[in-house]
Structure 1
Amino acid sequence: MPPSTKKRRLTSRQFHRWLGIGAAVLFLLVSGTGVVLQYQQIFGSEEAAKEAAASIVSPLTLGKPTGLDPAALDRARTTLLARYGDRPVAGVDWHIKAPTPAFVFHLDGADPRKVAVGVASGAILSDEPDGEDWLIRLHSGEIIGDGGKFVGLLWGLGLVAMTLTGVWIYIKMYRARQKGSASQLTGWRRYFW
């Protein structure tokens, strides 16, 4: 049979190599954004706020009344009404265990906002965009829509395939070393050739 018509079978090493070339860009993107996100988790301002709140004992217990002035929430709402106008409110969180207790309003609309208003003062403590950070959306692939979620699924499956084919290649290489001259190697070199 001439070589041009002979059917060539894809070996596990070739499959691993081609899959690796195609997946390298995605793996770099996911691992790079993952490192940045992990850095933010460890050293970011949210982590510092969690650490500060951890040392505070909540003044509220289930066994006693909340002690919340009913006018405090209305005062916070009025402050936001003056700044943002009449916007829909998706939710309100009451942060009790904080250096400055606050109501956190999640405002809906074209530009969703997360605004913290001091319970005692009624002043705006922080104002930031509400929703997932663009880096998280890039990391998950969600930044390009539903297709990105599918790509995220594919790169996860690609990582599984790379791991399995890599283990299979290693086992084959290990067996070959046991039979050949590599079996003469000692120490850690015998595992990594």
Structure 2
Amino acid sequence: MRKYHRWLSVIFGVFLLWISITGVISQIPMWGEMFGGEGDADRPVAAAPAVPAGFTCPESMVCRPKPSGSRSWVGVVHHLHSGETFGPLGTVIATLSGLALVFFSFSGLWLYIQMWRNRKDRALKPGWFWK
């Protein structure tokens, strides 16, 4: 298990770092709303831009003005975070990275439990943490 944990961490480490950084960046606009600042929800919606004569919104779609301010950045960061910016391959890598994160969680816990049991079996000082 330790071998797989080590090899997958080398392969997916960079992707997981990318996903974690873009995930944190995508939450920055929400921090202002949480800590009493003016959020985008409080701002008035800009008037819709002029549409060409004769244009009607298709029934299967909802037509709205493009988001502005921090909301537009959230959309860009979301596409980077999910891998959509890099096409189908980016989405596959993002999905595999998420699955790798689940694997690292379980295998890391499993390795810790094995080390803890091994330490207990060797009659060393018991405890949750050691040097």
TM over 0.5: yes
Post-superposition offset of 1:131:
10
Match of 1:192 in 2: 129
Match of 1:175 in 2: 117
SS at match of 1:25: helix
- Over the matched positions of the two proteins, sequence identity in percent amounts to 31
Match of 2:30 in 1: 41
Task: Return the alpha-carbon distance in structure 1 between the equivalents of residues 88 and 72 of structure 2.
Answer: 20
How many aligned residue pairs are there?
A: 120
Task: Return the alpha-carbon distance in structure 2 between the equivalents of residues 48 and 131 of structure 1.
Answer: 14
SS at match of 1:91: coil
Matched, 1:149 2:119: no
SS at match of 2:27: helix
Task: Return the alpha-carbon distance in structure 2 between the equivalents of residues 159 and 91 of structure 1.
Answer: 36
Task: Return the alpha-carbon distance in structure 2 between the equivalents of residues 132 and 49 of structure 1.
Answer: 11
Structure with higher helix content: 2
SS at match of 1:145: helix
Note the residue ranges of structure 1 that are not aligned, 5 or more in a row: 1-11, 54-75, 93-104, 107-112, 115-125
- Which protein has greater RCO, CA pairs closer than 8 Å, 6+ apart? 2
The answer to which of 152-161 and 132-141 deviates more is 132-141
TM-score (norm 1): 0.51
Matched, 1:31 2:20: yes
Tell me which structure has the larger Cα radius of gyration. Answer: 1
**1:130/1:21 CA distance change after superposition, 3 Å:** closer
Structure 1 residue ranges, 4+ long, deviating more than 6 angstroms after superposition? 129-132
Task: Return the alpha-carbon distance in structure 1 between the equivalents of residues 120 and 72 of structure 2.
Answer: 59
SS at match of 1:191: coil
Structure with higher strand content: 1
